[in-house]
Structure 1
């Protein structure tokens, strides 16, 4: 056996052992219709909320059924990870104090509930921040952009009902009955999010120039009744009012891991360097009053084109999470990978490193191995952006309990 063949077989064997397999069965995805939509990245920035640029997200949702449907929706965000994952458990007292404060902060969940009726056989659209009008006053938009108008008048994303503000977060919408007391079977929904940059934003985690726009599909979960997603069950109520079970039985199961491809950061294409931005939504989510976000630990594994595996990158996330992984982890840089292309896998788990006290022997009760959905934004020099859905995987050894993934809410 020659040396090249031996190396090739070793690489293939290593990948077969360590890499999850593609999801199958009742798993959520971005290329289907369903009863629950999750948009993992919403962005709406304006000078009034501590941003130098003007961006907004146009949400488009369609209903291809011959009857209207009521949608229950939630804007959502959570306080970010701060120093979580960057301060060692055995650090000095000051470092541990910072880590504890960061872990407490990411448990804070902020949301805004709203609902509207989506007509039969009709698409609808609305702006997240409703900043298109403000943008017209502050910045001269290209011809045609200012003519875009919302169809639905929904609450603005930025100002949450607990008095907090945020520029980025997520959106969840699902089919409900008309008095808003029960989730219903309605596998006729699909959605898209288009993020526009009307004015250059230098404060964003991925600063970009004006005139950019990129789009991704919503993550879609089908609903099941009597074990079937068949159209004959449309409009019938599901079995657990106030609770969406993402277990593959009531709704599609949430992926137990995600993967994506990227250009390692640091590569200079003559007009700027490459960067990769990740936005994730936690599938174990409590939207009830006075609730706190569930916490999960994220482990990143990166593979370069030679099949070499790089691990050791970890973060803690609450209900929603974003990171410029190019700036956060050395494993995403060209200097480390020595590769023009690479692939990563994100695996959620329960880890005591996310504890508030950071010294407990076991994970605290609100730390779970939750399923996740997400998107990535690839950026070249702040001039060229594209977004895409991450790919859902199932682990060969499933450490994520799908029965734990549920969305809890207060039916009105």
Structure 2
């Protein structure tokens, strides 16, 4: 048995992010965001945005949109200097904001009023307090505007930059009295300017089933049998998968394989340590011969330091424990994640032992949790991965609260696809499982999730039913070696459409190793909420991208660029997988129901799973000799 260390890094808005996205109708867009902040009033700032890159003429700019989102505000106190009381004492913030970006310009009026409770008395002659004094606190006026042009676009195209000049002018005034003193502190304008270039491509890289690439328009690509169209790049830069061996070499959650991924294991307790929820794992060997399966139980949450204020103990994180089981001919088996029985594997709690069990739940509902996933593959007696496309399984999550509920998902299976390798024979390099369509089936390039909007009551009938969705994501790629390169980190980029085919972009989530959350708890901009999506149903495409937004600098004070310190984490463009569960709250929580499914995928993307092959003990070579033995791998950390 071996314990090891896999994080979710909170997503942040990039200071400058070029984000390509697909638009409804087949167009594309890139978006840049820059923030501004300067003292008032007046005040201004110049922001430099990149011009549109037409990729050697392959991109044709269609429109440019400038969006403005900001505030102007300050901390304000005021004092009535009149001999009369001022029940109508009020503060007004007035002004305007302008933004000029090439031929685009916005002009927005700021006009906000702030009232008292009517209790401001006549002057008491004592400055800075008393019944004649009112502290308005921090008051601000919001600014939101946008401008779009479809003409004169040539000036936006090039390899240089274009300046956006942001200017704000404003001031405060008092009413309801004939004489007053006002004190303004920290008057500032701040916000974000977003430039969006919408464009179309003349031709893009079309990946064909035989591994070849042709530069075609999108419709022509799929009409020619292409399995992926990369409209934003040329074939020379495309990452088309190798030619297929024996059909579509992609992982599936409905067929057997040699490698299984159980994307969600979750155990819950109440605050007193009583069991609330368990996960049951089942595996079947559909072959008339015995086989060994190497399993890794991976803790999905990051390490957590002890909290001396609350008394919460320290928690291990991103660690794993390995088990190896034997499945006899045609054997189905199962076990509880909590106990490891009846199969007799390690309980999942071994990755974070202690009492009370688990760590505080992320929803702050007083529960405690232990979460992660399991990956396993067929091996021979030398612990080398082998072809054994006879494994299948599923995970069943059982909740024991109130009337109880349960939901189930299939383990995703990746078959060994090289027809030259016989059943039971090693595949490729021991300790390196290549999901490349040649050795093992590939992973998906993107995921597609259909969801009910958070807060939707569309499923209501005789009883009120409110929807939420639980989404679990993790990279297919993982490094389980002692000398690990660290947790695999990526930016899960979401493009969302509602029922009216309106597209929403800009929602990102940094995922290291594993991530699970209700969509209602996602960070802003949360397009999954009913009030934002504007329809009861929607779909989301999810792609794992490399992005500086998700890079992690272990020691920001070392003056080294991110990545120079081996403890830093650099995000990667990787394949994602996971499960999605619909949570239904009935009559305000009197009852509940849950239903789950695996996530649909599209396209092809390679992934690698690395692990240490455990060698057997050596024989005695001479009298008194010690020989060799398997290495005690001990404890390690994926975050180095």
State TM-score, norm by structure 2.
0.49
CA distance in 2, matches of 1:219, 1:210: 30
Question: What is the correspondence of 1:73-222 to structure 2 with a 5 Å cutoff?
Answer: 73-79=295-301, 109-130=318-339, 150-160=341-351, 167-180=370-383, 182-198=384-400, 200=401, 209-222=402-415
Offset at residue 325 of structure 1 (A)? 1.8
Offset at residue 260 of structure 1 (A)? 1.3
Is the alpha carbon distance of 1:351 and 1:63 closer, same or farther for their aligned partners in structure 2, counting shifts above 3 Å? same
Asked if structure 2 preserves the Cα contact closer than 8 Å seen for 1:110 and 1:162, the reply is: no
Q: Structure 2 unaligned runs (5+)?
A: 1-22, 29-216, 229-246, 305-315, 359-368, 615-640
- What residue in structure 2 maps to residue 96 of structure 1? none
Asked if structure 2 preserves the Cα contact closer than 8 Å seen for 1:55 and 1:195, the reply is: yes
Offset at residue 14 of structure 1 (A)? 5.6
- What residue in structure 2 maps to residue 386 of structure 1? 595
Cα-to-partner distance string for 1:368-406 (whole Å, 9 max, x where unaligned): 1111111001101160101100001127xxxx6x2xx21
Asked if structure 1 preserves the Cα contact closer than 8 Å seen for 2:447 and 2:541, the reply is: yes
- What residue in structure 2 maps to residue 33 of structure 1? 256
- What residue in structure 2 maps to residue 337 of structure 1? 533
- What residue in structure 2 maps to residue 246 of structure 1? 435
- What residue in structure 2 maps to residue 316 of structure 1? 510
Asked if structure 1 preserves the Cα contact closer than 8 Å seen for 2:302 and 2:318, the reply is: no
Offset at residue 366 of structure 1 (A)? 3.5
CA distance in 1, matches of 2:431, 2:492: 28
State TM-score, norm by structure 1.
0.74
CA distance in 2, matches of 1:51, 1:315: 31
The 3-state SS of whatever aligns with 2:510 is strand
CA distance in 1, matches of 2:429, 2:320: 22
Asked if structure 1 preserves the Cα contact closer than 8 Å seen for 2:550 and 2:570, the reply is: no
Q: How many residues align?
A: 338
- Verify: 1:234 aligned to 2:456, yes or no: no
Asked if structure 1 preserves the Cα contact closer than 8 Å seen for 2:496 and 2:538, the reply is: yes
CA distance in 2, matches of 1:309, 1:29: 28
The counterpart of 1:306, out of the listed 465, 478, 500, is: 500
Is the alpha carbon distance of 1:258 and 1:158 closer, same or farther for their aligned partners in structure 2, counting shifts above 3 Å? same
CA distance in 2, matches of 1:81, 1:349: 24
Q: Structure 1 stretch 361-370 or stretch 118-127: which is displaced more?
A: 361-370
CA distance in 1, matches of 2:256, 2:279: 21
Asked if structure 2 preserves the Cα contact closer than 8 Å seen for 1:44 and 1:128, the reply is: yes
The counterpart of 1:285, out of the listed 453, 474, 478, is: 478
Which structure's residues are more often strand, by fraction?
A: 2
The structure whose Rg is larger is 2
| Backbone CA RMSD of aligned residues | 3.1
Q: Structure 1 unaligned runs (5+)?
A: 1-9, 83-106, 132-149, 201-208
Displacement over 6 Å in runs of 4+: 15-18, 20-24, 161-164, 358-365
Is the alpha carbon distance of 1:168 and 1:51 closer, same or farther for their aligned partners in structure 2, counting shifts above 3 Å? farther
Asked if structure 1 preserves the Cα contact closer than 8 Å seen for 2:24 and 2:503, the reply is: no
- What residue in structure 2 maps to residue 326 of structure 1? 520
Offset at residue 271 of structure 1 (A)? 3.8
CA distance in 2, matches of 1:290, 1:321: 23
Which structure's residues are more often helix, by fraction?
A: 1
CA distance in 2, matches of 1:279, 1:261: 14
Asked if structure 2 preserves the Cα contact closer than 8 Å seen for 1:258 and 1:345, the reply is: yes
- What residue in structure 1 maps to residue 278 of structure 2? 56
CA distance in 2, matches of 1:17, 1:390: 25
Asked if structure 1 preserves the Cα contact closer than 8 Å seen for 2:472 and 2:515, the reply is: yes
